[in-house]
Structure 1
Amino acid sequence: MTNAFVINGGKPLKGEITPQGAKNEALQVISAVLLTDQKVTISNIPDIKDVNKLIELLGDMGVIVEKTAADTYTFIARDIDQDFFQSETFKSKGGGLRGSIMIVGPLLARFGKASIPKPGGDKIGRRRLDTHFLGFEKLGAQFNYNPADGFFNVDASNLKGTYILLDEASVTGTANIVMAAVLAKGVTTIYNAACEPYLQQLCKMLNRMGAKISGIGSNLLTIEGVDYLGGTEHRLLPDMIEIGSFIGLAAMTGSEITIKDVKYPELGMIPDVFKRLGIKLELRGDDIYIPAQDHYEIETFIDGSIMTVADAPWPGFTPDLISIVLVVAIQAKGSVLIHQKMFESRLFFVDKLLDMGAQIILCDPHRATVIGLDKQVQLRGISMTSPDIRAGVALLIAALSAQGQSTIYNIEQIERGYQHIDDRLKALGADITRI
């Protein structure tokens, strides 16, 4: 029996909410503990499936994992069981977790070999892993895919630094190659590197462990190989996708909400994009305060043409918030073109929004025009199924703003990315029940 959320919407919410630690950063920095035999302490870890599965996987490999607080773990990767990587357990656990690809770089760097089952994960179009493997190959790794058992086997007994131009600015690809390169012989230069805050955090953490990475925050990283990395302590950034989701939630439901401890300088243009939709927000200390608004109006471009919101690699607007912007625009005054460039099937959830009464024209798999209702008409509650993590939360926001009852099925997808979301929304006054 699958779980579902039942939501009675149309009520304004009120209060404070603290974003969880960043999921995407967690998957990278937790994998990085494999680079040293010393103790690494990581705090602000979100309690969500994808992250918990990765921590469990490290334990299965022989990492000594200790939970020292609700959001803090220590890791000691002294003895790693190399046979584990050929096991059925690894195949089933590793295959069901996209993040498991992130352990390959550190394992190659430290042990000279790794295996990885073909990964699964989100249904948002093809997510190629070529970038990871092309990078490893340039560093001198040899790999072969065994179709019989579904494993990629990689041999990297002799990694050497080199110049790498990435075929795409993949965040996980860049992170994986950086982790492989920190212990390689010589200097590695990565151009067209991803520069997301998550990746900057990883590089800063590796430098504290003794790595020599320069160019952090730019798309040109230089990594001078070292022989050994030591332990460190690291705290995850708050999840910017949650922060963006809560800004959207406040506007859509006309709620007064304070989002606590947001690390504002790391949010890039996220607050500006929501401001362009007419949402008022102010920074108070390191909290974002959103007043209750019964009306918000989308700006037009200077020449009067319709506002476009498109995703792009950082410091552009993150693709993970495109679904949220689309939903929030439903109740704005004015129109906006949403252009999802980076993934091909992220907009397919709009059919559910149409059923709820939204005015959206889906132009093609990448573009949708939203004609704002300006809160003249409320959305209606319906039953629906969440296709991926981010669309799931977008639908949740729509349901909280809608008149009547909505049921969202397949909430496992939401819970892969958002911890205890129902309890945290209840604390703001949302009427949400898990069945």
Structure 2
Amino acid sequence: MHKFIVHGGRPLSGTIKPKGSKNEALQVMCATLLTEAIVTINNIPDITDVHSVMQLLTLLGVQIVPLGKGSYQFCAAHLHTDVTLTEIFRQEYAKVRGSIMLLAPLLVRFKSVSVPKPGGDRIGRRGVHAHFEGLERLGVTFCYNVDEEAWKAKCTTLSGSYILMPEPSVTGTANIVMAASMAKGKTIIYPAACEPHVQQLCHMLVAMGATITGIGSNILTIEGVAHLSGTVHTILPDMLEIGSFIGLAAATKSTLTITDVPINLFTPVWSCFRKLGIRLEEDDNSLHIPFQPSYHIQKEIDGNLLSLSDAVWPGIPADLISIAIITAVHAHGHILIHQKMFESRLFFVDHLIEMGARLILCDPHRVHVVGLGNAYRLRGTRMSSNDIRAGITLLIAALAAEGTSTIANIHQIDRGYEQIDQRLNALGASIERA
């Protein structure tokens, strides 16, 4: 198993370009199953979660042709109907959470499919009830096979319906949108997730011939069509990678410029870091983080302690909370950070405490950070990560700390960040992959 050996305490400088959005890539690649025509997707990140979904598509019979760096053609004209029952498919399916978004396209093509539990980050309970309840409203029936640890899903036909979502699940919304786009009649989804990558999936489906209105809102109306055609689609830059670079610049007191940034689209991300005292300078499609010898956490308008929490879009993304914590550790002031969605996501802060961070894990969902700014430096240590965002947070902590740190289990970081060691070393970091 690979690990990072990080020599910390070095300020970084330079320009970095974010890779394509991981979450968008997984959705739009699954959507290529909805048509027999060729779909070309550009700006796909070279990360292990993407490789896993590509492998699943290949097993299903999708022809994937590389066109150049980050660009691929997908053709799902000839699929293997029984491959989902094979052990190799089950093993690959269990590697990545995004595999759950194959469910709706496979039902559209096969009418019956068997799928095991999806994989992904171990950050607490991640139910699939939003997927199943929505698809049931469209006419899908589910049966769980205890011996095979898999769900059998089947439908005679998909029919539009009003779907009251139990929660605005991003992947649940994606699955239902894909199924509804080829169901008979009208489907209304409320409250639908409206994150940028969900919007992008909807725009791609519209380009393929789907009829979807309300894109960007929490009410989606879909008129099903009988056929979808091919298209060319370009994936947005990854807003979570951009957020990670902002936190990195702040914690290491570096000067960074991030290019190819859709400034207006990711406003909640900028709002999060400005509340932590970070200066962000916007210029067309780039973001500049200047050197700040110190930064101060804002207070509430009445002078009380600032509380920061994740929320559905356009709130602060849950995946940014870990980055906000390490940013706050290096700020001046106090903050209560509330991670609402997953009860096991904050346990990585034990490593930060061992490094000397002044914080208290109040309960599985809340952490009180006492930012000491320049008064205290973190120290290098040995650590390991159980999920993508905790992994990049620990890497930021190691780069900001005095001394040498070792980070194990770095395949978690590789799942979401393409060649992160090489890209940061080009900015002046010292990261060895061992």
Tell me which amino acid in the other structure corresponds to 2:88: T
Match of 2:177 in 1: 178
Distance 2:129 2:397 in 1: 36
Tell me which amino acid in the other structure corresponds to 2:317: T
Match of 1:168 in 2: 167
Match of 1:433 in 2: 432
Distance 2:301 2:284 in 1: 32
TM-score (norm 2): 0.99
Report the alpha carbon displacement of residue 113 of structure 1 after superposing the two structures with TM.
2.1
Report the alpha carbon displacement of residue 107 of structure 1 after superposing the two structures with TM.
1.5
Distance 1:331 1:161 in 2: 51
Q: Deviations over 1:12-55 (max 9, x none)?
A: 00001111111011110000000000000001101001111101
Q: Deviations over 1:115-152 (max 9, x none)?
A: 21122221100000111111111100112111122221
Tell me which amino acid in the other structure corresponds to 1:254: K
Report the alpha carbon displacement of residue 399 of structure 1 after superposing the two structures with TM.
0.5
Match of 2:86 in 1: 87
Q: Deviations over 1:212-238 (max 9, x none)?
A: 010101111000010100000101111
Match of 2:136 in 1: 137
Match of 2:29 in 1: 30
Distance 1:117 1:192 in 2: 27
Q: Deviations over 1:89-123 (max 9, x none)?
A: 11111122221111111121233222211222211
Tell me which amino acid in the other structure corresponds to 1:257: L
Q: Deviations over 1:72-102 (max 9, x none)?
A: 1100000110011111111111122221111
Tell me which amino acid in the other structure corresponds to 1:406: S
Distance 1:326 1:93 in 2: 33
Match of 1:13 in 2: 12
Distance 1:123 1:150 in 2: 18
Equivalent residues in 2 for 1:226-265, closer than 5 Å: 226-265=225-264
CA contact (8 A) 2:380 2:402 kept: yes
CA contact (8 A) 1:356 1:379 kept: yes
Match of 1:127 in 2: 126
Equivalent residues in 2 for 1:266-285, closer than 5 Å: 266-285=265-284
Tell me which amino acid in the other structure corresponds to 2:397: A
Report the alpha carbon displacement of residue 268 of structure 1 after superposing the two structures with TM.
2.6
Match of 2:308 in 1: 309
Distance 1:299 1:240 in 2: 23
Report the alpha carbon displacement of residue 346 of structure 1 after superposing the two structures with TM.
1.1
Distance 2:303 2:142 in 1: 54
SS at match of 2:332: coil
TM-score (norm 1): 0.99
SS at match of 1:75: strand
CA contact (8 A) 2:55 2:92 kept: no
Tell me which amino acid in the other structure corresponds to 2:18: P
Equivalent residues in 2 for 1:347-358, closer than 5 Å: 347-358=346-357
Match of 1:216 in 2: 215
Distance 2:243 2:311 in 1: 16
CA contact (8 A) 1:132 1:177 kept: yes
Tell me which amino acid in the other structure corresponds to 2:53: L
Distance 1:95 1:123 in 2: 12
Match of 1:104 in 2: 103
CA contact (8 A) 1:109 1:181 kept: no
Q: Deviations over 1:304-356 (max 9, x none)?
A: 10111100010100010100000111111111110011111111111111111
Distance 1:81 1:38 in 2: 16
SS at match of 1:408: strand
SS at match of 1:269: helix
Tell me which amino acid in the other structure corresponds to 1:220: I
Report the alpha carbon displacement of residue 285 of structure 1 after superposing the two structures with TM.
1.7
Tell me which amino acid in the other structure corresponds to 1:167: P
- Structure 1, unmatched stretches of 5+, are none
CA contact (8 A) 2:52 2:95 kept: no
Report the alpha carbon displacement of residue 271 of structure 1 after superposing the two structures with TM.
0.6
Report the alpha carbon displacement of residue 302 of structure 1 after superposing the two structures with TM.
1.1
Match of 1:117 in 2: 116
Structure 1 segments (4+ residues) deviating >2 Å: none
Q: Deviations over 1:186-242 (max 9, x none)?
A: 001101110100000000000000000101011110000101000001011111111
Tell me which amino acid in the other structure corresponds to 1:211: A
Match of 1:370 in 2: 369
Report the alpha carbon displacement of residue 176 of structure 1 after superposing the two structures with TM.
0.2
Tell me which amino acid in the other structure corresponds to 1:215: G
Distance 1:129 1:268 in 2: 29
- Structure 2, unmatched stretches of 5+, are none
SS at match of 2:147: coil
Distance 2:420 2:235 in 1: 19
Equivalent residues in 2 for 1:35-114, closer than 5 Å: 35-114=34-113
Report the alpha carbon displacement of residue 367 of structure 1 after superposing the two structures with TM.
0.6
Q: Over the residues paired in the alignment, what is the CA RMSD in angstroms?
A: 0.8
Report the alpha carbon displacement of residue 69 of structure 1 after superposing the two structures with TM.
0.7
Match of 2:194 in 1: 195
CA contact (8 A) 1:111 1:157 kept: no
Distance 2:91 2:275 in 1: 45
CA contact (8 A) 1:323 1:394 kept: yes
CA contact (8 A) 2:131 2:172 kept: yes
Match of 1:297 in 2: 296
Distance 2:261 2:29 in 1: 21
CA contact (8 A) 1:110 1:183 kept: no
Distance 1:256 1:381 in 2: 22
